[in-house]
Chains A and B, each alone.
Chain A
Amino acid sequence: MHRVQLLSKVTYGPTAAEVEQVASLGPVAFLDRQLSIPPADTTDVLTGTHSLDADIATRYQLYNRQNNDRPAKELRHAAVIRAARHEGQLAERMVEFWTNHFSTYSGNSDKNVRYAAASDDRDVIRAHAMGRFADLLLASARSVSMLLYLDNHRSTGNRPNQNYAREIMELHTMGASNGYDEDDVEQVARIFTGWGLAGELDTDGLRFDYRPDRHFTGACEVTIVHPDGSVDTFSTPERPGGVGGEQDGIDFVNWLARRPNTANYLATKLVRRFVADDPPPSLVASAAEVYLANDTAIVPVLRHILTSREFIASQAPKVKSPFELLVSMVRATGATIDPEFSNENDRPAARTISDHLSRLGQSMWAWPTPDGFPDDRNFWITTSTTLRRWELAGRFGNDNLNGFTIDAAALLPDPMPETIDLVVRALAARFGIPITQTDVAAITEFLGVATDTPVADVALMQGLGDVIGLLLSFPANQYR
């Protein structure tokens, strides 16, 4: 019972090897193993000229004459290959989760986020995805892409910019109006004044730099009211000349990461991601306790959620996000993806990945607002994206995705059964899709034959791509 649940929620669609592994190790050891593997960190996932291992100045040199979206194309290309191939499936899932949690938008030319996004992916998200949330939050607060995106690098004591201050509380830690008010937003904006950037984009790149002369010199006080009515206060003394202002910000991040409201907000999002769109309150509460008891460590919280009674009992299906759908189809069909990337011209695979993610509604690193994509089936599944999900399935079946290679014939059962219905059933089983006799009949009717027609009498190879496309279009394949 737990095995199927675990495989479908921990992986991007289990491979035969993973099914075997969970059978031989047992679910507990399988999960432990997944929890112990960090995200992919090697950069040879792409070949050609790319900037996964570059610094910001080098990336600027590579991309400043290119289309705004090209650096994000590189990231999407790498993300799909990593998620499809990396052994640490859970870690890659957490990379997707935190990338969305700390969403940045690389599409504008005027903020320069695109030159920093791959560094953020590598040095912030991947470095801390399975570590401590407090460290992740601090790394994000000092990340060049976040400082650019939410304008904190321009925030000064005289004229604080509230953009980052608001979102670190609303989106990164406690949730909207969850215990703080507009006064607190003002106070937090002051705490982060002077947290900015040094360097030049085109020569030595940009890096975090604290500027005491731009820090607010007065005292600050932030008051958080918890659901039980208790009150927490964080205060900083006067800071003449801005001396000590950087440490105040670090202390604030560490304090914020350890608030019960933060624990509750993060637990809600994690349970929503791994269990159900409507998170069971009991599991949220216990996961929040585990988070606080483990000093914001992420792995114990995941272990708690993925071994919980509520997780095992949960029947509510989670709809696959477009990224999950795409990666799951790569894994189900054994597709190979051309790893060649070019900073100058669209290579087929990179374009295919970006085009389809966009049509399906998940253009990663190009969601314009800092809240990230909603984790909600009603957001992912619309009439329009339904058509595009079917199209993607049809293209996988027919090996009709530029830069991808799919060998449909290799998916056929061996030895070949005698009648066509059994071929359809074998393919469905391979994709992990439950199928009824009515479904089988619908597919054989599509092929223009009866269910019990001998395989030899069916023009199978002509129809095989579409049959696979229809199977991957099944409602069951939209869920994980």
Chain B
Amino acid sequence: MSHRCTTCTPPERKRLSRRAVLKGVGAVGTVAVAAPGWGSMAFASNNATRVGDVVVNIFLRGGMDGLSVVVPRNEATGADHLAAARPTLAVDPASVIPLTEDFGLHPMMAPLMNVWNTDRLALIPAAGFPDNDRSHFAVQRKMDEGLDNGVVGSGWLARHLDNTVSPGPDGLRAVSLPNGQRSLSGSSVAVTLRSTDTFRVDGFRNNGDSGAMVRAALQDLHAVDPGSVVNSRAHEALVALDVVNNAPTSDPANAAVYPTGGRGRNTGRVLAEVAELIRADVGLEAVATEANFGWDLHDNFGNQTDGRQAQNLNALAEVLAAFAQDLGSDMDRVTVVVMTEFGRTFRQNGGAGVDHGRASTMFVMGGGIRGGLYGDWPGLAPDDIDRNGLRVTVDYRTVLADVLQHRLVTGNMGAVLPGFVDDPDRRLNLALPLAVNA
């Protein structure tokens, strides 16, 4: 009656199944026909320097509630338990957008259905950090570093880049926007971009020749002690200035509209710039950003139409959908991974909010992704709950491992995810193996 055995899940049941509930997309292994706007799978890269996809990692800092993203619709999946635990906050199962017989998407995330319907969106509703740690900062740090424990001082994306050959000339391999992201920290090739149009040397008077004189002087003044953080960043900045400033600019394509107001404004601007850089073909391989819409809703969680959580989810759906639309067929070589440090408590607290919980929903979106719901559903009966949180059934690194292996063709999985026991039987297989480049 309660949970299924997590250690004996047959490999073919990787997708969320009753307690494991199946989404009716094509069977594992078949490639769905590309929908309009998504180009064909036989996308010929115009970027000879890149082997794998461009990975775009979006961290939802603050701990996003996942129980309002992928919502149980019936008794078998725990809708009644959820309604009892969150008398004023639970999403009404009758209002959700059906994803499967058993689960639906928050109604305010409707913009994402364009992506879901093309079978390029994987949702993992019980993913999370393996250990029951509920500190924002400790867990974010470990997830940014790709760990389950300790600190290594460099990010998982940084180590992926370090261990993966980039055959082409130096371009702009990795960017953090709009500020430094720990998943790229320690990388000598990652550049922090607050925005592309402010990436220049301002403030000096002698800006003749596009500031070349000032840049030359700054170059000279940072010539010694190249290992220091100040001088390293200075050199990287001076190199990146040329790449960024010479990259062709473009407006969003395919009539994509990013939110220009509300919570999604900043992330929308960031993703529009990322799409522009991908189109400009500057050699991008990894992007790290964050969407801090105010997920830490200990209070003021709000109702499902115009409350805080509903607005946040709407903004997230809008920016992701706009990004996919904007990139169009280029999305075939892009994989977006959205993650958060933990979900929220199962039961609402006194302030009409939810405290720090356990599992939440991870999103993986891209042309090489098999759409669907993934992972075992832990259930919401009293015995299923992990200290007032949704039980984690999928280690977040299991998701990263699929992406790293199949979409990023990473050079050394062990270095990127140290300590991760990569059990093939637990893999979700949510990513299609990358087609060999012509």
Binding site for B on A (CB under 8 A): 108, 110-111, 150-151, 154-156, 158-163, 166, 170-171, 176-177, 182, 185, 193, 319, 359, 361, 368-369, 371, 377-379, 381-388, 390-395, 397-398, 400, 436, 438-439, 442-443, 445-446, 462-463, 465-466, 469-470, 473-475, 478-479
Which of B22-30, B132-140, B277-285, B428-436 lies on the face that meets chain A? B132-140
- Beta-carbon contacts under 8 Å, B81-101 to A: none
Considering only CB atoms, which chain A residue lies closest to B176 in the complex?
A382
CB distance from A187 to the nearest CB of B (A): 14
Residues in B neighbouring A161, C-beta threshold 8 A: 298-299, 349-351, 353, 355
Which of B138, B185, B228, B308 contacts A110, CB < 8 Å?
Answer: B308
A-B contact pairs, 11 of them (CB 8 A): A151-B351, A160-B350, A361-B179, A369-B137, A377-B229, A383-B236, A388-B194, A391-B201, A442-B217, A470-B214, A470-B221
List 13 extra interface pairs beyond A170-B137, A177-B135, A462-B205, CB under 8 A.
A110-B300, A111-B299, A162-B355, A163-B299, A182-B132, A369-B137, A394-B204, A436-B224, A445-B217, A465-B205, A466-B206, A475-B225, A479-B230
Which of A163, A176, A438, A463 contacts B298, CB < 8 Å?
Answer: A163
Q: Does B33 contact A (CB under 8 A)?
A: no
Q: Is B217 in contact with A446, judged by CB distance below 8 angstroms?
A: yes
- Beta-carbon contacts under 8 Å, B179-236 to A: 179-180, 185, 191-194, 198-206, 213-214, 216-218, 220-225, 228-231, 233-234, 236
Residues in A neighbouring B351, C-beta threshold 8 A: 151, 154-155, 159, 161
Q: With A and B bound together, what is the CA distance between A377 and B185 in angstroms?
A: 12
Q: Is B203 in contact with A400, judged by CB distance below 8 angstroms?
A: yes
Known: A384-B193, A394-B204. A442 touches B137 (CB 8 A): no
CB distance from B283 to the nearest CB of A (A): 16
Q: Is A473 in contact with B218, judged by CB distance below 8 angstroms?
A: yes
CB distance from B207 to the nearest CB of A (A): 9
Residues in B neighbouring A438, C-beta threshold 8 A: 220, 223-224
- The proximity string for B residues 33-46 relative to A, scoring 1 for CB distances below 8 Å and 0 otherwise, is 00000000000000
Which of A162, A382, A466 contacts B349, CB < 8 Å?
Answer: A162
Q: Is B137 in contact with A371, judged by CB distance below 8 angstroms?
A: yes
Residues in A neighbouring B32, C-beta threshold 8 A: none
Q: Is A368 in contact with B225, judged by CB distance below 8 angstroms?
A: no
Q: With A and B bound together, what is the CA distance between A81 and B200 in angstroms?
A: 29
Known: A368-B292, A371-B136. A446 touches B214 (CB 8 A): yes
Q: Does B294 contact A (CB under 8 A)?
A: yes
- The proximity string for B residues 321-354 relative to A, scoring 1 for CB distances below 8 Å and 0 otherwise, is 0000000000000000000000000001111110
Known: A182-B132, A319-B229, A382-B179. A162 touches B298 (CB 8 A): yes
Q: With A and B bound together, what is the CA distance between A61 and B199 in angstroms?
A: 40
Known: A162-B298, A162-B349. A378 touches B229 (CB 8 A): yes
Which of B135, B221, B230 contacts A166, CB < 8 Å?
Answer: B135
Q: Is B356 in contact with A158, judged by CB distance below 8 angstroms?
A: no
Q: Is B179 in contact with A466, judged by CB distance below 8 angstroms?
A: no
CB distance from B189 to the nearest CB of A (A): 11
Q: Does B394 contact A (CB under 8 A)?
A: no
Q: With A and B bound together, what is the CA distance between A436 and B225 in angstroms?
A: 13
Known: A151-B299, A361-B179, A443-B217. A383 touches B192 (CB 8 A): yes
For chain B, give the interface size range.
35 or more
- Number of A-B residue pairs, CB cutoff 8 Å, is 183
Q: Does B265 contact A (CB under 8 A)?
A: no
Q: Is B135 in contact with A384, judged by CB distance below 8 angstroms?
A: no
3 smallest CB-CB distances across A and B, nearest first, come from: A394-B203, A159-B350, A154-B351
Q: Does B61 contact A (CB under 8 A)?
A: yes
Residues in A neighbouring B133, C-beta threshold 8 A: 176-177
CB distance from B82 to the nearest CB of A (A): 17
Which of B136, B216, B225, B240 contacts A446, CB < 8 Å?
Answer: B216
Considering only CB atoms, which chain B residue lies closest to A441 in the complex?
B220
Which of B132, B204, B216, B221 contacts A475, CB < 8 Å?
Answer: B221
Q: With A and B bound together, what is the CA distance between A177 and B151 in angstroms?
A: 14
Q: Is A163 in contact with B180, judged by CB distance below 8 angstroms?
A: no
Known: A393-B203, A478-B230. A378 touches B185 (CB 8 A): yes
Residues in B neighbouring A383, C-beta threshold 8 A: 191-193, 233, 236-237, 240
Residues in B neighbouring A445, C-beta threshold 8 A: 217, 220
- The proximity string for B residues 126-162 relative to A, scoring 1 for CB distances below 8 Å and 0 otherwise, is 0000001111111000000000000000000000000
Q: With A and B bound together, what is the CA distance between A439 and B138 in angstroms?
A: 43
Q: Is A108 in contact with B205, judged by CB distance below 8 angstroms?
A: no
Q: With A and B bound together, what is the CA distance between A156 and B217 in angstroms?
A: 62
Q: Does B125 contact A (CB under 8 A)?
A: no
- The proximity string for B residues 308-328 relative to A, scoring 1 for CB distances below 8 Å and 0 otherwise, is 100000000000000000000
Q: Is B203 in contact with A369, judged by CB distance below 8 angstroms?
A: no
Q: Is A151 in contact with B221, judged by CB distance below 8 angstroms?
A: no
Considering only CB atoms, which chain A residue lies closest to B136 in the complex?
A369
User: Which of B200, B308, B353 gathers the greatest number of chain A CB atoms within 10 Å?
Assistant: B353
Q: With A and B bound together, what is the CA distance between A393 and B203 in angstroms?
A: 7
Considering only CB atoms, which chain B residue lies closest to A475 in the complex?
B230
- The proximity string for B residues 355-372 relative to A, scoring 1 for CB distances below 8 Å and 0 otherwise, is 110000000000000000
Q: Is A154 in contact with B193, judged by CB distance below 8 angstroms?
A: no
Residues in A neighbouring B203, C-beta threshold 8 A: 390-395, 398, 400, 469
Q: With A and B bound together, what is the CA distance between A394 and B233 in angstroms?
A: 18
Residues in B neighbouring A377, C-beta threshold 8 A: 229
CB distance from B84 to the nearest CB of A (A): 14
Q: Does B375 contact A (CB under 8 A)?
A: no
Q: With A and B bound together, what is the CA distance between A425 and B214 in angstroms?
A: 19
Residues in B neighbouring A466, C-beta threshold 8 A: 204-206, 214
Which of B137, B218, B241, B350 contacts A156, CB < 8 Å?
Answer: B350
Q: Does B78 contact A (CB under 8 A)?
A: no
CB distance from A479 to the nearest CB of B (A): 7
Q: Is A387 in contact with B199, judged by CB distance below 8 angstroms?
A: yes
Q: With A and B bound together, what is the CA distance between A397 and B205 in angstroms?
A: 9
Q: Is B204 in contact with A155, judged by CB distance below 8 angstroms?
A: no
Q: Is A475 in contact with B228, judged by CB distance below 8 angstroms?
A: yes
Q: Is A398 in contact with B201, judged by CB distance below 8 angstroms?
A: no
Residues in B neighbouring A361, C-beta threshold 8 A: 179
Q: Is A177 in contact with B193, judged by CB distance below 8 angstroms?
A: no
User: Which of B191, B201, B237 gathers the greatest number of chain A CB atoms within 10 Å?
Assistant: B237
Known: A159-B350, A160-B349, A161-B355. A387 touches B298 (CB 8 A): no
Q: With A and B bound together, what is the CA distance between A453 and B257 in angstroms?
A: 58
Q: With A and B bound together, what is the CA distance between A383 and B193 in angstroms?
A: 7
Residues in B neighbouring A473, C-beta threshold 8 A: 218, 221
Q: Does B72 contact A (CB under 8 A)?
A: no
Residues in A neighbouring B292, C-beta threshold 8 A: 368
Considering only CB atoms, which chain A residue lies closest to B135 in the complex?
A176
Residues in B neighbouring A182, C-beta threshold 8 A: 132, 134, 387
CB distance from B185 to the nearest CB of A (A): 6
Considering only CB atoms, which chain B residue lies closest to A193 in the complex?
B350
